[in-house]
Amino acid sequence: MTAADTSSSAATGALSHLRVLDLSRVLAGPWCTQNLADMGADVIKIEKPGDGDDTRHWGPPFFPDAEGKPTSHACYFAACNRNKRSVTVDMATPEGQRLIRELAMQSDVVVENFKTGGLKRYGLDYESLSALNPRLIYCSVTGFGHTGPYAPRAGYDLLIQAMSGLMSITGHADGEPGGGPMRVGVAVIDLFTGMYATTAILGALEARHRTGRGQHIDMALLDVAMAVLANQGAGFLNAGNVPRRQGNTHPSVVPYQDFPTQDGNMLLAIGNDGQFARFCEVAGVDWASDERFTQNAGRVIHRDTLIPMMAALTRTRSTAEWVRLLENKAVPCGPINHIGQAFDDEQVRARGLRVEQERYPGGSMPAGEAINRVVSTASPLRLSDTPATLRYAPPALGQHTDEVLRERLGLDAAKLQELRGKGVL
């Protein structure tokens, strides 16, 4: 997805036939709806007048103005809200609820992340909206799901990382400098939940082709967190092993970690015996013929012997030298970049992963705070015939309110003015 894609027609998107009503905010729900929007869906984001999505205010960092001074607009919001149209509606008012119901009647998908039962009092829950639109696919994203003793609780990514055990396997081991439970550097459970929600919605759409009916999707952050424990969860469930933190090393594969070099550090991800043998060949050592190290199981058992030997060896060359020598032997090796270095990497640049959009003034934006440029990371969804496209920059609050309500509900200027006077919009 490149800047050139801004001219692509929305009709070419894989999901350009779909209408999505986005009642979610923060990260998990918006990540899901941005995926759908990148694939062409028309996503209408409903926000509270005056405030909008919580992440509009989660800063610093804030977008700079034309003079490079920080505005009041947080960069966080831009991570998960491109390709959407922002409409401000106060759902606490009866007229606001009516507008949202009318939009839902015209939609294929609704995504919301209110607390369990939170939308029922507004008549915007699944039962209420599916009665009006039986084809509606309604995706709820909550911390703990709609069943079980924790269902009423609010859930945030950090809390779920702690409760699921993820933090117990992330970070340095007890007794090491800096040892202790550690969260992942991004809200990974929110992001995984957004991706699982996207998958579930696409599955429900496929089912609707056969049945003609929509359905309710109950996505819970805790469910997702337990699922993505993957091999660590499987090891406990089947062998009774309770894994512990071990820094950058791998519980089942050796050597698979960071190593010191002459000028810093590098990452070696040797996943099989052939790669280890080729590493040894390049390094000029005969460790692959040592029965302790020939096979991965032995290297795991004898890691305390092997790893110090390897660390002494890797210190003899620079990171760049190791990468140059090993990449020609198909041994996975690379630098440990900071984010600036990662975006400057030649492969990242070749794949067009930095995309830029123009953002025109509009919506509820304070005077002098117009943001004319937004940079984000391209969608990784690479479809050959229906590629992801850039249509809208992350919108200003309420930027598309009049446009959408005229287009979808036929409201004229007088009606829009009346609703604004009542504080509905």
Cβ contacts of 327 within 8 Å, gap of 6 or more: 333
The Cα 252–Cα 127 span in angstroms is 47
CB 75 within 8 A of CB 96: no
List, in sequence order, every residue forming a beta bridge with 373; answer none if it has no partner: 358
Query: Catalytic site residue 190?
Result: yes
The single-letter code of the amino acid at 79 is: A
| Neighbouring-strand partners of residue 70 | 64
Residue position matching structure tokens 């309110």: 401
Q: 78 by DSSP, 3-state: which? A: helix
In which residue are the tokens 């929007």 written? 37
User: What's the CA gap between 361 and 239, in Å, rounded?
Assistant: 58
What is the rounded distance in angstroms from the CA atom of residue 51 to the CA atom of residue 25? 12
**Catalytic residue selected from 190, 223, 263, 286:** 190
Distances (CA, A) of 243 to 105, 176, 235, 258: 48, 16, 8, 20
At residue 264, φ and ψ (nearest 5 deg) are 160, -120
State the DSSP H helix or E strand holding residue 257, giving kind and residue range, or none if neither.
strand 256-261
Contact yes or no for 16/40 (Cβ under 8 A): yes
Bridge partner list, 218? 140
Which SS3 state, helix, strand or coil, does residue 197 take? Answer: helix
Work out the angle between the directed axes of helices 401-409 and 413-421 (0-180°, nearest 10): 120
Instruction: Point out the residues that are catalytic.
Output: 190
